[in-house]
Chains A and B, each alone.
Chain A
Amino acid sequence: MFKIRNLKIFLFGSFEHLDFGFVSDFDIRISDFLNNLFGSGNNGIGGKPMTKVKVAMDWLAACAGCEMSVLDMDEKLVELLDRIELTSTPITDLKHPPKEGVTVGIVSGTVNNTTNLEVVKEMRERCKILIAMGDCAVFGGIMTMRNFFDMNEALKRAYIETESTVEGILPSSEELCKPIKACPVNNVVKVDVYLPGCPPSPEAIHYVLSELLEGRIPVLSGENLKYD
């Protein structure tokens, strides 16, 4: 298999031109890279039988709606499993992507606390192509509503002032992560493919994965491009 020494430089490189936030302006190197990785036909690289593309998924501050949508692909997911191998996912419940890395990583949820930061950075390191799935990962989503309040106010409301709480206290254990300003994934790491939607439809998710498997950069449009 193709070994990329310096993944960061290869992928992030030096983008001279402005990114207008549209896939059509993607750097041409990504396209080359994909073609080399997946090949253009059914046989894969060098005529060897097709090895399954490794996929890892992880979630940050998420509601699992996107993961439900992935499962909603139903029989199409089963078909995809002929060509992809799911490694660590919230569904298989393995907590970290494999150390040797995977080809495709899918992240859902907003970056909301210090643990999310660690998780998303690890995903970026270990995944060659990172997909931000769902409005929370792409735009910041619902969690960003917290940004309009003082953090202490928000914590007090959640842990002390809730109507059903009796003698609440603010969690203060050393082991716990700290909340940070909620933001989308691309504020923290470079994202390669964006898949907005709340959740993205199973058809859109299937489209993105199949396009990548065919060695093409997915361009969302029509029914596949929705923000709600």
Chain B
Amino acid sequence: MDKMINLKINGRQIRAHSGQTILEAAKTAGIDIPSLCHHPAITPHGACRICLVEIERQRALQPACTFPVSEGMKVETESPKVVEERKFVLQVLFSERNHYCMFCEMSGDCELQALAYRYGMDHWTYQNSYPKIPVDGTRKYFIMDHNRCILCRRCIRACSELAANNTLGVKFRGAKTMISADMDSPFGESTCVACGTCLQVCPTGALIDRKSAYTGRETQVERTKSVCMFCSVGCGTEIITRSGRVLRVEGEWEEHNKGVLCVAGRFEPVYDNRERIRTPLLRKNGELVPASWDEALDIVSDKLKSTKGNKIGAWTTSKTLNLTMSEFVAVFQGKIGAHVGVLEPTLSELELPVGGSLSELVSSDCILVVGADPLSDHRVLGYHIKRARMKGAQVILVSENCNEMGRFAHKKFAPEDLVRAIKICQNSASPFVVYGDGTTQKDAEKLVVLKRKAQFIPVFPATNGYHAKVLGLQYGLNNHQIEMIYFLMEDAAPKDEWIKRAQNVKFLVVHTSYHGPITETADVVLPSLLWYEQEGSLYNLEGKKVAVRKAAPLPEGLIPENEVLTQLAARL
């Protein structure tokens, strides 16, 4: 299968693998063939005609991105004929729609413009006919300006191959062709899930991110490789900042999510408008007033020393870093002897394997989803299940409630019939079990039989549930007689049960980033960092330790959570 092929590109002898395209072979050999519609993450299309090359004995120029290599082939990538053709294609692309660089958001980073500069285009040969082309602003987070679209179809391919959503397509033909969603619905009213993968791959300024438009060119911004903290999938991200301000989030192409993010990781965090806590606060005369760290930590440590260990409850969210969680356990359980727990389920009672790989999930032939609703809250995992399904995998859903995966499941079983679902998996070649916090102990005992055969993917309800499970943290705000509570909440929005528990306690310390119902009754409020200020590591869906990196400097007076805990411990 992996036969080596010898061919000549621009007079150079190249060796390529059989099955590769000319573009791929050239790239490996360090020869750059320009293209517009090509993108390494999606299947080649041959739409833009920029990569046309001259091949000996071929009647016409051929697109390098789709043409397979063959033995003895001779290819010219910058011959006069090829260059003339490329310039012609560029002129035609510019003449079709309204490509005016001077007021375009993408100018400076646009792939179409870069090609025009490269080939010295200094005017248009063909008169622009000023067609009236619409701009679609119906999506909440980004805009589609059809004027700038070159119909490369990267967005369509990304929507179907990467996000597996299949919302985008084209309508009409020829010069009237337009990218459209579903049956020509406005994008914001379509089945678009706002994952933003199309936005990330668009080569021109056709897809424009609202928040970060006109805020800086690639040469003016900084990119920080980090990990999304909004669910336990732990997608690799790149946080784009300028002068300490977060502009937007992009998916990282090398990590397990391979560039794909979801609305909760790409857009929602940048739009967070909640009121941020900037200094420690102490309750004096019924009001929360700013205080220094020393003051606040002195009061907390005094209270901790004066209360019996078993009358103190310390709970942390799983949406935090490894070091913070470990430090939390060391201080509150180790040093103080308090009741320590975690605020979200950790799947710790389920003795099931972990470590299934996302990329292998896509090649699975049978996926059993039990006790989880990935498309609602772990969307990128859900997209990967849908991708597997598009490739022929059978999706079996075991659920009693309304489940987003229901529409895509081949078979649905009630929880009582789990055994029948397991049987189907046993008869498959490479099954996967995706299990969430809706899985009971009994279910787990039944699923164990698939241990040898299937890969297991745990769907922790919150980000670093993996580490919480490793540390043995228990979920549940127990009903012990507690006089003092320490909640480490980071930027998680408080759930009703936490607020209720907090209301009845004598002394409440809340360590969080935003004001909210839970800080209203707190005695001490300690500010925590935001997702783009965190520096440390956590575990992603596959059980791999990944690095969360600080993308912006810490605001004045804020301290990382684990340091706060260390300082607190030093006072005890």
CB-contacts of A175-202 with B (<8 A): 181, 183-184, 186-187, 191, 194-196, 198
CB-contacts of B96-152 with A (<8 A): 98, 100-104, 107-108, 113, 116-117, 119-125, 127-128, 130, 132
Residue B242 interfacial (CB < 8 Å): no
Question: In the complex the two chains form, is B122's CB within 8 Å of A220's CB?
Answer: yes
Residues in B neighbouring A21, C-beta threshold 8 A: 87, 91, 121-125
Question: In the complex the two chains form, is A142's CB within 8 Å of B130's CB?
Answer: no
Residue A148 interfacial (CB < 8 Å): yes
Question: In the complex the two chains form, is B100's CB within 8 Å of A23's CB?
Answer: no
Residue A209 interfacial (CB < 8 Å): no
Question: In the complex the two chains form, is A148's CB within 8 Å of B123's CB?
Answer: no
Q: How far is the CA of A203 from the CA of B120 in the complex (A)?
A: 17
Residues in A neighbouring B404, C-beta threshold 8 A: none
Q: How far is the CA of A194 from the CA of B124 in the complex (A)?
A: 10
Picked from B84, B102, B127, B130, the residue with its CB within 8 Å of the CB of A228 is: B102
Q: How far is the CA of A228 from the CA of B121 in the complex (A)?
A: 14
Question: In the complex the two chains form, is A20's CB within 8 Å of B87's CB?
Answer: yes
Question: In the complex the two chains form, is A140's CB within 8 Å of B120's CB?
Answer: no
Q: How far is the CA of A19 from the CA of B88 in the complex (A)?
A: 10
Contact A144 to B122, CB < 8 A, known contacts A21-B87, A227-B113, A228-B101: no
* Chain B window 349-361, contacts with chain A (Cβ cutoff 8 Å), 1 for yes, 0 for no: 0000000000000
Question: In the complex the two chains form, is B124's CB within 8 Å of A142's CB?
Answer: no
Residue A219 interfacial (CB < 8 Å): yes
Residue A106 interfacial (CB < 8 Å): no
Question: In the complex the two chains form, is A22's CB within 8 Å of B119's CB?
Answer: yes
Residues in B neighbouring A198, C-beta threshold 8 A: 101-102
Residues in A neighbouring B98, C-beta threshold 8 A: 144
Contact A22 to B87, CB < 8 A, known contacts A132-B123, A196-B123: yes
Within the complex, the shortest CB–CB distance from A154 to chain B, in Å, comes to: 13
Q: How far is the CA of A20 from the CA of B130 in the complex (A)?
A: 20
Residues in A neighbouring B88, C-beta threshold 8 A: 20
Q: How far is the CA of A14 from the CA of B417 in the complex (A)?
A: 84
Question: In the complex the two chains form, is A194's CB within 8 Å of B102's CB?
Answer: no
Within the complex, the shortest CB–CB distance from A226 to chain B, in Å, comes to: 8
Within the complex, the shortest CB–CB distance from A144 to chain B, in Å, comes to: 6
Picked from A148, A194, A225, the residue with its CB within 8 Å of the CB of B132 is: A148
Residue A139 interfacial (CB < 8 Å): yes
Residues in B neighbouring A195, C-beta threshold 8 A: 122
Q: How far is the CA of A191 from the CA of B122 in the complex (A)?
A: 12
Closest to A220 in B: B122
Residue A51 interfacial (CB < 8 Å): no
Question: In the complex the two chains form, is A140's CB within 8 Å of B113's CB?
Answer: no
Within the complex, the shortest CB–CB distance from B212 to chain A, in Å, comes to: 18
* Chain A window 17-34, contacts with chain B (Cβ cutoff 8 Å), 1 for yes, 0 for no: 011111110000000000
Those 5 A-B pairs whose CB atoms lie nearest each other, nearest first: A227-B101, A198-B102, A21-B125, A147-B130, A194-B123
Interface residues of A (CB under 8 A from B): 18-24, 132, 135, 138-142, 144, 147-148, 181, 183-184, 186-187, 191, 194-196, 198, 219-221, 225-228
Cβ contacts A to B, 23 pairs, < 8 Å: A19-B125, A20-B84, A20-B87, A20-B91, A21-B87, A21-B123, A135-B101, A135-B102, A142-B102, A144-B100, A144-B130, A181-B130, A184-B123, A186-B123, A187-B127, A191-B123, A198-B101, A219-B120, A225-B117, A227-B101, A227-B116, A228-B101, A228-B108
